[in-house]
Amino acid sequence: MTASEPSWDHYRVFLHVMREGSLSAAARALGLTQPTVGRQIDALEAAVGAPLFLRSASGLTPTPAALSLAPLAEEIATRAAAFLRQAEDAAGEMAGRVRVTASEIMAVEVLPSILAEIVERHPRLVVELSVSDRVEDLLRHEADIAVRMVAPQQEALVSRALGSVEIGLFAHRRYLERHGVPQSEADLARHRIIGFDRETAFIQAMRRRIPVFGSIDFALRTDSNLAQLAAIRAGFGIGGCQVRLAARDPALERVLKAEFAFLLPVHLVLHETQRANPRCRAVYDALAEGLLAYGAGRAARD
């Protein structure tokens, strides 16, 4: 390392300041003192030869230089985490970390019970669950295993198709008692419909499948599938929901079953280099078992 080359710790501090928006918040997240964080940011700015943050009474504002460096810092953090997970392989034990990525709904509503069973079998495993509807890049080791609703395209990934989950239109019984049950697609125009804020490929497909959706102004727009599900459960209106999830709540009733039914494929994905990793393989196989059971509507150990 040259005299001017920043320490790796500087990158880590920089990334936390970017995420937290202040030196004090970054210090709390890192378990450091605020002066220490400030000194490391000063050292990094000296090394790169440009200011990274504009100080003000309201906090820190990233400069253009900081914004351009942030993706590289994220890459360093991702690689460092992958390095640590890979280093744990040397022990040859069913212990250590496995990073799993899944969408909001799957991560919150479906995977916890499956993961609980996994760690019961292998108590020394640590599961890192990345909750995001963004498709994380396994090739860049952002995660070890992914639960996806689309098939992967990269050849270096091992994928197992686990059937599909059905999506239907549901509403809380309380909402239907107040507003009536739609008897046709046209009836949806007079109901409160829960939809997405941004046009996605799924929404475009839904509009093609059910043309009336093209003319409906959603009463609630959110790109969070969890928020949509919460709104359905709260009686806000009618929205899309996994049929298996809705079956857990007897107060949720399906409407227009014949007219509205989508199947989303479920794929479990693993980087081919992790196939021989005992810990990743154990989690992969257990996830496959649990997700197949979920799709069939039974408990994983039935």
Which domains occur in the chain, in start order?
A: 8-85 (1.10.10.10), 93-161+267-296 (3.40.190.10), 164-264 (3.40.190.10)
Return the structure tokens found at 124. 């020394």
Note the pLDDT of residue 50. Answer: 86
Helix (H) or strand (E) holding 79: helix 64-87
| pLDDT tens over the chain, length 302 residues | 444 566 777 878 888 888 888 888 888 888 888 888 888 888 888 888 889 888 877 778 889 888 888 887 777 776 666 666 566 555 555 778 899 999 999 999 999 999 999 999 899 999 999 888 776 555 566 788 999 888 777 666 788 899 999 999 999 999 999 999 999 988 998 999 998 887 666 667 666 766 666 677 889 999 899 999 999 999 999 999 999 999 999 999 999 999 888 888 999 998 777 777 888 888 999 999 999 999 887 654 54
User: Please, what's the b/e burial string for 91-128 (b: 16 or more CB within 10 A of its CB; e: otherwise)?
Assistant: eeeeebebbbbbbbbbbebbbeebbebbeeebeebebe
Determine if residue 141 is left, alpha or beta; phi over 0 gives left, psi from -120 to 50 gives alpha, anything else beta.
Answer: left
Tell me what percent of the chain is helix, strand and coil, each rounded to the nearest 5: 50, 20, 30
Structure token pair of residue 86:
């890979």
Distance CA(220)–CA(192), nearest Å, equals 8
Q: What is the pLDDT of residue 302?
A: 44
The burial class, CB within 10 Å (0-12 / 13-18 / 19+), for 143 is buried
Query: Which tokens sit at 99?
Result: 């990073």
What single string gives the DSSP state of each residue in 210-256?
SGGGGG---SEE-S-HHHHHHHHHTTS-BEEEEHHHHTT-TTEEEE-
In terms of Cβ atoms closer than 10 Å to its own Cβ (0-12, 13-18, 19+), residue 300 is middle
pLDDT digits (tens, 9 = 90+) for 90-108: 555 577 889 999 999 999 9
Dihedral sign for Cα 128, 81, 161, 227, please: positive
What is residue 3's predicted lDDT score, i.e. its pLDDT? Answer: 46
Render pLDDT for 47-82 as a digit per residue (tens, 0 to 9): 888 898 888 777 788 898 888 888 877 777 766 666
Cα distance between residue 214 and residue 229, in whole Å: 21
